[in-house]
Amino acid sequence: MKNIYQLLTCLILILSLSNFTVQAEDWGVPSSAKKKHNPYDANVKNISSGKKIFNINCKTCHGDPGKGNMIHLVPISPTDIGSQDFLVQTDGEIYYKINKGNGAMPTFEKTLNDEHKWMVITYLRSFDKSNRRSEKLAEVKNPEVTDVKLDLEIQDSSKYILAHLTGMTKKGKRVGLHGIEMSFLVKRNFGYLDISREDAYTDDNGKVETVFPYDLPGDREGHVDLLVKLTDDAFYGNLEKSQIVSLGVPTIPVNPLDERAMWGTRANAPIWIMVSYIGGVFVIWGVIFFVLFQMIKIPRLAQNKE
């Protein structure tokens, strides 16, 4: 009898577990979708923009590719999408899954455009060990340099911000480093606002510029905290430069408590309400006292008559 119970529990357990795996595997990717190919090149630019999109949209659940630091969910945690187990799939399969979503995985059909989805796939493929396409990586050719420096030039009138990335060659000459992506960030209360233009890569002289948004508020004097840094630290490490610039729109914060309002506490109530309230109290008590005095007078009147 006991054996039968054990057997039953085992059976139920196995069944329920297999049910979960079915749930996890049940993407039903049609074979036509599997055949789709990534139309974009696996070059450095695409990989790095794929990484950006990945970090914003996918990283919170899946973690960093290949690191296994995804969040843990019950019954199934998200896959490490940098692992070989995942990357055996065709581009088309991954594309389909991003589009459709399943269970806790959202659909990105409408939230990401096609280009962005393929960029993410390009980025993921760069982790694929069996993939030839990722070998094209060494594409940016800059001379070997030391003492890499990042300089900023700000033009207050036109709101231009120019970043200049240079390094010292072995011959002791300072040269611009080209093809490096730069992020222009403005500090806000809870994070950094990205104001870089599209494809903010340094040109042959190592320069890249961006225009500060004409309507972005700064503090009272228009000061904002600007941070310029290399988007990808794979090339020259984590190089960044921050500076306070006065490119923002001077903004004087409005204090809602400066005005008297109906919703204000006692001290902040509108004058008319205080006057009419206090007036009302005086009038009512006045009437009451008046009546009382009249009533006191009645017996006196009676006495006088007598």
**Count of C-beta atoms within a 10 Å radius of residue 180:** 25
> Measured from the CB of residue 59, what is the shortest distance to another protein in angstroms?
8
> Measured from the CB of residue 196, what is the shortest distance to another protein in angstroms?
13
> Measured from the CB of residue 49, what is the shortest distance to another protein in angstroms?
15
> Measured from the CB of residue 18, what is the shortest distance to another protein in angstroms?
18
Give the integer Cα–Cα distance in Å for 9 and 215: 66
Q: Which of 214, 247, 210 is nearest to 229 (CA)?
A: 210
Residue listed under structure tokens 């630019």: 45
Indicate the SS3 state at residue 146. Answer: strand
Residue listed under structure tokens 């310029």: 228
For another protein, which is the closer residue by CB, 111 or 243?
111
For another protein, which is the closer residue by CB, 174 or 188?
188
Q: Which residues bind another protein (CB under 8 A)?
A: 55-57, 59-61, 71, 73-75, 101, 103-104, 106-111, 188-194, 213, 215-217, 219, 251, 253-257, 261-266
List of E strands, 59-217: 146-155, 160-168, 174-176, 182-188, 191-194, 207-211
Q: Which of 182, 181, 178, 174 is nearest to 140 (CA)?
A: 178
The count of C-alpha atoms lying within 13 angstroms of the C-alpha of 115, restricted to the half-sphere facing its C-beta, is 3
> Measured from the CB of residue 210, what is the shortest distance to another protein in angstroms?
15
For another protein, which is the closer residue by CB, 254 or 298?
254
For another protein, which is the closer residue by CB, 204 or 221?
221
Determine contact, residues 133/50, Cβ cutoff 8 Å.
Answer: no
ω before 256 within 30° of 0 (cis)?
A: no
Determine contact, residues 232/48, Cβ cutoff 8 Å.
Answer: yes
Q: Which of 45, 58, 57, 196 is nearest to 119 (CA)?
A: 45
Residue 105 is classified by DSSP as B
> Measured from the CB of residue 231, what is the shortest distance to another protein in angstroms?
14
> Measured from the CB of residue 29, what is the shortest distance to another protein in angstroms?
18
For another protein, which is the closer residue by CB, 177 or 245?
245
For another protein, which is the closer residue by CB, 190 or 272?
190
For another protein, which is the closer residue by CB, 239 or 269?
269
Diameter of the chain measured on Cα atoms: 129
